[in-house]
């Protein structure tokens, strides 16, 4: 099945596994690009994507003496960690250190120096693992400001990638404010975008969508209804491949401080209260109760149990603020399927979809706080939470980064799968690799893929909720960051995994570890005059260990 992809000049085809792969259809000549470019600059390493993984990659390479340019489409660095994701998704703190550990220590030190070691805010920051978005962004900013050889281009988007001898050698970006284009010549390119835009533009193959069970022998792959409470597959599970992706949302930062509250004065554009009426059915059916085996700190607030406010998962962070996730358990969850067309859309399409999901999010907050059918005591609880005036001050106090939980996934030298991130008696050595460059440890956890169907009474299709009973810490092989054939390119974020494995590896702490490894690998490739695929693994591992990275499993 072939279809045209208008933005990147690609053809798409369905692989044998059922996952969509992109193949290059054509490109642009260097001379054609040169005529359009207003500025040309030369760097050792170009990092596209100011995500936590991108910041880690840029800083790691710069600390080793490389000239680096870091390109971010927004005006802010830090991706989700600076855009509402106020708590670090990590189960085993000791297994992710390196630059992420340094990030956490700096956050902790900020709260100690600002409020005093015995303050409530220091307690609420939980040793630096919980934080306000503005604090996280300030830490990321300091990371890059400390590197004299690191240049940051904020507010710039990718236009194209220039290939030479099958290697990515240059990227062309444009300034979102002025439209001016810049050509960034580099000897090494790191794709740290959530969407995998750089390697797609370079012609590397990738997966898009969910593989079938048969593709890699993964029990939780494909179309799935999984009862996360009772750990069993339900009727409707087929394991078939699907081109649909887990829901995208926004991660909110809300405050309980009236003096810092920015209150919505009106519902958002295109507000439709019927979009949220399914939550009333969830309330009647008891689906807004607390989960079994409640564990504090996982995003559940006991005061919200059995109220409509359980549409949100609320966790305290410092300064009377909260990290607020969209709860994927209720069947009224309205965000599934709203990301259709985002990944392969042009910039205008992506902006339109992001704006729609923003409005759905604002609409949910408005609904909980103002809808007359919402019980008064529920409305009163919801109204305790408002947008903070001192966060996202240039974006109407709303997060700037859409929570892109999964987009493209590279087809690399190795594909990490569910069988690698779960260890059983039958597979005691699963998740062990000679080319390990980091450790993954977060449970398989994927958001719903489809809206409620007529037969749904327990869970939405595609939701895999915190499968910590089967996920075990695993080593992450360097090969998942290297495209099958395209050279000059390293991919620490939208890396080579199956859909199920991606739901474990897709955490910002893990991506920071992979980003650090990518920055070091870029340096070694340049030092030794080799392609990333030929980097000395022993040299890479030695440097990472020296820098505090954890690459070995506990004995």
Domains of the chain (ranges; CATH) run 15-207+478-546 (3.50.50.60), 252-388 (no CATH)
Distance CA 489, CA 522 (A): 9
**Residue whose C-alpha is closest to residue 478's, from 423, 551, 417, 409:** 551
Confirm if 498 and 512 have CB atoms less than 8 A apart: no
Confirm if 523 and 434 have CB atoms less than 8 A apart: no
**Residue whose C-alpha is closest to residue 460's, from 281, 334, 277:** 334
Distance CA 137, CA 546 (A): 26
pTM, whole model, 2 decimals? 0.94
DSSP H or E stretch at residue 161: strand 156-164
**Residue whose C-alpha is closest to residue 505's, from 520, 518, 492, 517:** 492
Distance CA 129, CA 112 (A): 13
Q: Looking at residue 303, what is its pLDDT?
A: 87
Dihedral of CA atoms 43, 45, 48, 50 in degrees, nearest 10, equals: -100
Distance CA 243, CA 239 (A): 13
DSSP structure string for 39-78: EEEEEEEEEE--SHHHHHHHHHHHHTT--EEEEESSSSSS
**Residue whose C-alpha is closest to residue 162's, from 23, 5, 27, 7:** 27
Distance CA 397, CA 84 (A): 11
**Token pair 């559940």 in the structure block, residue:** 300
The phi-psi region of residue 344 (left if phi > 0; otherwise alpha if psi is between -120 and 50; otherwise beta) is alpha
Distance CA 546, CA 1 (A): 49
Distance CA 54, CA 516 (A): 8
Q: Which residues are within 8 A (CB) of 35 and not within 5 positions of it... i.e. 6 or more apart?
A: none
DSSP structure string for 232-259: EE-TT-----BS--PPPB--EEEE--GG
Confirm if 496 and 484 have CB atoms less than 8 A apart: no
3-state helix, strand and coil shares in percent for the chain, rounded to the nearest 5: 30, 20, 45
- CA 320 from chain center: how many Å? 26
> Which residues, in sequence order, are bridge partners of residue 160?
172
Written as tens digits, the pLDDT of the chain (555 aa) is 222 233 333 333 333 334 434 333 333 444 444 445 568 899 999 999 999 999 999 999 999 999 999 999 999 999 999 999 999 989 999 999 999 999 999 999 999 999 999 999 999 999 999 999 999 999 999 999 999 999 999 999 999 999 999 999 999 999 999 999 999 999 999 999 999 999 999 999 999 999 999 999 999 999 999 999 899 999 999 999 999 999 999 999 999 999 999 999 999 999 999 999 999 999 999 999 987 766 666 666 788 999 999 999 999 999 999 999 999 999 999 999 999 999 999 999 999 999 999 999 999 999 999 999 999 999 999 999 999 999 999 999 999 999 999 999 999 999 999 999 998 888 888 999 999 999 999 999 999 999 999 999 999 999 999 999 999 999 999 999 999 999 999 999 999 999 999 999 999 999 999 999 999 999 999 999 999 999 999 999 999 999 999 999 997
In the chain, DSSP finds a helix count (H) and a strand count (E) of 14, 23
> Which residues, in sequence order, are bridge partners of residue 69?
46, 151
Q: Looking at residue 32, what is its pLDDT?
A: 43
DSSP structure string for 399-416: -SS-B-----EE-BSS-B
HEC profile for 117-138? CCCHHHHHCHHHCECCHHHHHH
**Residue whose C-alpha is closest to residue 327's, from 442, 232, 223, 447:** 447
Structure token digits, residue 131:
């934080």
Q: In 208-343, where do the E strands start and end?
A: 226-227, 232-233, 252-255, 261-262, 312-317, 321-326
Q: Write phi, then psi, for 322 (nearest 5 degrees).
A: -140, 145
Distance CA 278, CA 274 (A): 8
User: How would you class 347 by CB atoms within 10 Å of its CB: exposed for 0-12, middle for 13-18, buried for 19 or more?
Assistant: middle
**Residue whose C-alpha is closest to residue 221's, from 241, 247, 248, 245:** 241
Label residues 119-129 b or e (16+ Cβ within 10 Å = b).
eebbebbbebb
Distance CA 45, CA 524 (A): 12
Angle at 341 between CA 250 and CA 280, to 5 degrees: 50
Angle at 277 between CA 275 and CA 278, to 5 degrees: 100
Confirm if 478 and 540 have CB atoms less than 8 A apart: yes
Distance CA 360, CA 537 (A): 46
**Residue whose C-alpha is closest to residue 321's, from 85, 90, 103:** 85
**Residue whose C-alpha is closest to residue 68's, from 165, 137, 171, 163:** 171
Confirm if 37 and 175 have CB atoms less than 8 A apart: no
Can you list the alpha helix ranges (DSSP code H) found in 247-314?
278-285
Q: Looking at residue 91, what is its pLDDT?
A: 94
Confirm if 353 and 342 have CB atoms less than 8 A apart: yes
The phi-psi region of residue 282 (left if phi > 0; otherwise alpha if psi is between -120 and 50; otherwise beta) is alpha
Q: Which residues are within 8 A (CB) of 339 and not within 5 positions of it... i.e. 6 or more apart?
A: 245, 247, 248, 353, 357, 404
């Amino acid at each position: 099945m072939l279809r045209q992809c208008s933005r990147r000049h690609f053809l798409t085809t369905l692989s044998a596994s059922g996952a969509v792969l992109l193949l290059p259809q054509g490109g642009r000549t260097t001379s054609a690009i040169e005529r359009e470019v207003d500025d040309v600059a030369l760097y050792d390493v170009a990092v596209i994507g100011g995500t936590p993984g991108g910041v880690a990659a840029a800083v790691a390479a710069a600390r080793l003496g490389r000239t680096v340019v870091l390109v971010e489409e927004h005006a802010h660095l830090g991706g989700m960690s600076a855009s509402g994701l106020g708590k670090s998704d990590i189960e085993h703190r000791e297994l992710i250190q390196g630059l992420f550990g340094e990030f956490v220590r700096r956050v902790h030190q900020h709260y100690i120096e600002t409020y005093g070691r015995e303050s409530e805010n220091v307690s609420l920051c939980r040793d630096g693992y919980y934080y306000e978005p503005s604090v996280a962004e300030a830490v990321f900013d300091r990371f890059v400001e400390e590197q004299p050889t690191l240049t940051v281009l904020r507010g710039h988007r990718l236009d194209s990638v220039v290939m030479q001898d099958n290697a990515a050698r240059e990227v062309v970006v444009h300034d979102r404010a002025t439209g001016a284009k810049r050509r960034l010549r580099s000897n090494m390119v790191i794709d740290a975008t959530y969407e995998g835009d750089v390697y797609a533009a370079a012609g590397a193959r990738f997966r898009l969508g969910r593989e079938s069970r048969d593709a890699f022998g993964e029990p939780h792959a494909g179309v799935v209804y999984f009862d996360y409470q009772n750990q069993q597959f339900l009727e409707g599970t087929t394991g078939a491949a699907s081109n649909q992706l887990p829901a995208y949302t926004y991660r909110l930062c809300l405050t309980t401080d009236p003096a810092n509250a920015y209150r919505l004065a009106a519902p958002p554009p295109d507000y439709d209260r019927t979009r949220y009426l399914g939550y009333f059915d969830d309330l009647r059916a008891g689906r807004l109760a607390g989960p079994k085996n409640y564990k504090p700190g996982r995003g559940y607030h006991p005061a919200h149990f059995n109220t409509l406010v359980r549409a949100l998962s609320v966790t305290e962070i410092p300064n009377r603020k909260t990290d607020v996730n969209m709860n994927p358990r209720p069947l009224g969850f309205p965000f599934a399927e709203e990301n259709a067309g985002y990944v392969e859309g042009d910039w205008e399409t992506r902006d339109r979809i992001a704006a729609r999901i923003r409005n759905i999010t604002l609409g949910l907050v408005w609904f909980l706080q103002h809808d007359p059918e919402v019980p008064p005591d529920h409305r009163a609880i919801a109204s305790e939470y408002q947008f903070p005036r001192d966060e996202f001050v240039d974006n109407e106090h709303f997060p700037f980064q859409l929570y892109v939980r999964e987009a493209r996934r590279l087809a690399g030298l190795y594909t990490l799968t569910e069988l690698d991130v779960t260890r059983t008696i039958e597979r005691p050595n699963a998740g062990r690799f000679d080319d390990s460059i980091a450790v993954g440890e977060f449970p398989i956890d994927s958001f719903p893929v489809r809206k409620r169907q007529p037969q749904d009474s327990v869970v939405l299709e595609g939701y895999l909720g915190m499968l910590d009973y089967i996920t075990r810490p695993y080593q992450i092989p360097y090969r998942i960051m290297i495209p099958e054939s395209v050279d000059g390119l390293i991919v620490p974020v939208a890396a080579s995994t199956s859909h199920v494995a991606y739901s474990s590896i897709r955490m910002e702490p893990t991506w920071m570890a992979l980003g650090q490894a990518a920055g070091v690998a870029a340096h070694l490739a340049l030092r030794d005059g080799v392609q990333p695929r030929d980097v000395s693994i022993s040299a890479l591992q030695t440097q990472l260990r020296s820098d505090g990275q954890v690459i070995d499993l506990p004995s």
